[in-house]
Amino acid sequence: AQKITQTQPGMFVQEKEAVTLDCTYDTSDQSYGLFWYKQPSSGEMIFLIYQGSYDEQNATEGRYSLNFQKARKSANLVISASQLGDSAMYFCAMRERTSGSRLTFGEGTQLTVNP
């Protein structure tokens, strides 16, 4: 079974609007972490935001926030006030306590911000 599922291969949003990128995960561990990475067309992988399974509040980093719904096993990324530079591939990833340092990545969502 897929551990990380990103059901949106592509998303479009108008500049200055908010967008939500979906991520659901599957784990039997009680302790785990969820990460979002951005990969622009230049190819580098950029860490955006982290949410721990025991964190009671949703993580926020500037215009990025993580809508963490533990019971539903979802960790959606919300980007507010989209900018043209946000156009990129976005990957959700999970680290489980029992898997050591390993991160498991989803297939990614290609976000396009239209002017």
The residues of the shown chain that bind other proteins, judged by CB under 8 A, are: 29, 31-33, 35, 37, 43-47, 50, 52-53, 91, 95-97, 100-105, 107-108
Spatial CA neighbour of 112 closest among 14, 26, 3:
14
Give me 113's structure tokens: 């911000």
Query: Closest separation between CB of residue 53 and other proteins, Å?
Result: 7
28 vs 115 by CB, closer to other proteins: 28
| Minimum separation from the CB atom of position 30 to other proteins (A) | 9
Please report, for the chain, how many H helices and E strands are present, in that order.
0, 12
Q: Please say which residue, 87 or 95, places its beta carbon nearer to other proteins.
A: 95
Residues 6+ apart with CB under 8 A from 56: none
